[in-house]
Structure 1
């Protein structure tokens, strides 16, 4: 039995692949288009024609598919066999015969990475903080960026004591049976969406009865919530820590989108010299609030 599955059975790791395998049954053209649009926005490009794209921890494979739709030559890998199976299924349904490689592998496996070479775009949404060795994974991802290339990462925001509480919730989830897991998901949902009743009442009183916006990035609220509550291992970082680490690797900050100091992921677009001009580092460091986005639970991929 492989180590990833053993860790899941021992309650040391969330079954990420199982969750995203269930999600792939919901993927349709609308979700694919939404994912492609969010990828364009995240990378600040209109397309990826002629570029190589590495999807680190590809999960369901939705964003590998989105990169393919934007014209990239895609290489994807995941440590979880069920995630690889999900991505293969998605490729067969939406892009049979596409120049899109999918394989089993870990960002922490130096031998595997040495065979990959470098890429124009390295994409790691909500992955590195679930490896159990986030900083080593970050350094490894940096090493896969070609000269003039881009690294896009999203990392859970460090909320201090609250983050430690969430880590405890995640550990308990993975060590519990079905009933306790259900209770943890229900309690976490009630906490995270506690403002919804008031918002709904406000909309009714003010006559704004339009439906809330669809889930961003083509994702599923239910599968995101399972990923958030169960997503373990779990590490966090402050924006200044990520930026200092990137600076040490000679990567410049091109774009920063934070979750406003709250729950969720901060998103970083970093560039290696030879490509786009980095954003003015002094200005970005002085305004670490960046662009405030909606909280993004878990690592929807």
Structure 2
């Protein structure tokens, strides 16, 4: 498989890319059985399946490796890949911890923007890419190329940042500043972390509720960590967005039918989509 380390390092050094892998490596210290179980349940709910037994599952931009692990525990044959070398290592750490020597979980380094790499992977029953394709630097190309991985009759499960217009453009500038160097990173953290933390904390204190509630409830959504997702949000550059109707029309034209949709209500965050590819499509 093609090694993208030089390309990745150059983008990070030029302030064009967040160190996603570093953040996910830190997240692994918080990973426990309850988070894995929640991740499994989120896959079962969105895909409408209790098991992935006998199915091929690809995790496009595997990040921490949590959902590759969840898919493998549900019985799927899993292929994980990521552009960030440290994210690749995260998946390998989880495989060695939970499925040592497993021939049904393969892990690679590569880019979803590389057509030759994508074509060399084959096709899968389930293509999963949660919160990844908008960080590639060319989202619409990534949204296009990922369809090559979906076999006829297969499913595509993606999550893409919601387009909030001017607000999204301002966030793009914030993320770019974060990745520009130490000064930009600490400036963004100093301004934005209180923005995220203080309002819910004050509401809970006023209502005499447990202020740790926002962290525990967040965990129940996908097994993720609010703190690590905050870091991912603040530094997550490149950064692109799309309206739900744009994604729907894009995939409808390619022969995909929308099966499941969960939006973020027009606000901050990702809209989640599950598309089904017609068995007759080529």
Aligned to 2:89: 85
Say whether 1:132 aligns with 2:137.
yes
- Residue of 112, 115, 135 corresponding to 1:107: 112
Q: Deviations over 1:153-193 (max 9, x none)?
A: 0000000000000000000011031x541331232222234
Shift in Å at residue 209 of structure 1?
A: 5.2
Q: Deviations over 1:222-274 (max 9, x none)?
A: 21111100000000000000000011111000011000000000000100113
Query: Which runs of 5 or more structure 2 residues have no equivalent in the other structure?
Result: none
Conserved? CA contact 1:55–1:124, under 8 Å: yes
**Alpha-carbon distance in structure 2 between the residues aligned to 1:209 and 1:18:** 30
SS in 2 for 1:155: strand
**Alpha-carbon distance in structure 2 between the residues aligned to 1:202 and 1:274:** 55
Conserved? CA contact 1:153–1:269, under 8 Å: yes
- Residue of 133, 150, 158 corresponding to 1:153: 158
Shift in Å at residue 22 of structure 1?
A: 1.7
**Alpha-carbon distance in structure 1 between the residues aligned to 2:253 and 2:246:** 11
Say whether 1:175 aligns with 2:175.
no
- Residue of 46, 64, 77 corresponding to 2:68: 64
Conserved? CA contact 1:251–1:270, under 8 Å: yes
Q: Deviations over 1:94-133 (max 9, x none)?
A: 1212210001111111111111111000000011000001
Aligned residues: 271
Aligned to 1:34: 38
Shift in Å at residue 21 of structure 1?
A: 1.5
Q: 1:222 to 1:133 in 2, by over 3 A?
A: same
Runs of 4+ in 1 over 3 A off after TM superposition: 192-195, 208-211
Aligned to 2:191: 187
- Residue of 13, 25, 28 corresponding to 1:9: 13
**Alpha-carbon distance in structure 1 between the residues aligned to 2:244 and 2:136:** 19
Aligned to 2:52: 48
Provide TM-score, normalisation by structure 1: 0.86
Conserved? CA contact 1:203–1:209, under 8 Å: no
RMSD of aligned Cα (Å): 1.7
Conserved? CA contact 2:64–2:91, under 8 Å: yes
Query: Which runs of 5 or more structure 1 residues have no equivalent in the other structure?
Result: 276-301
Q: 1:189 to 1:113 in 2, by over 3 A?
A: same
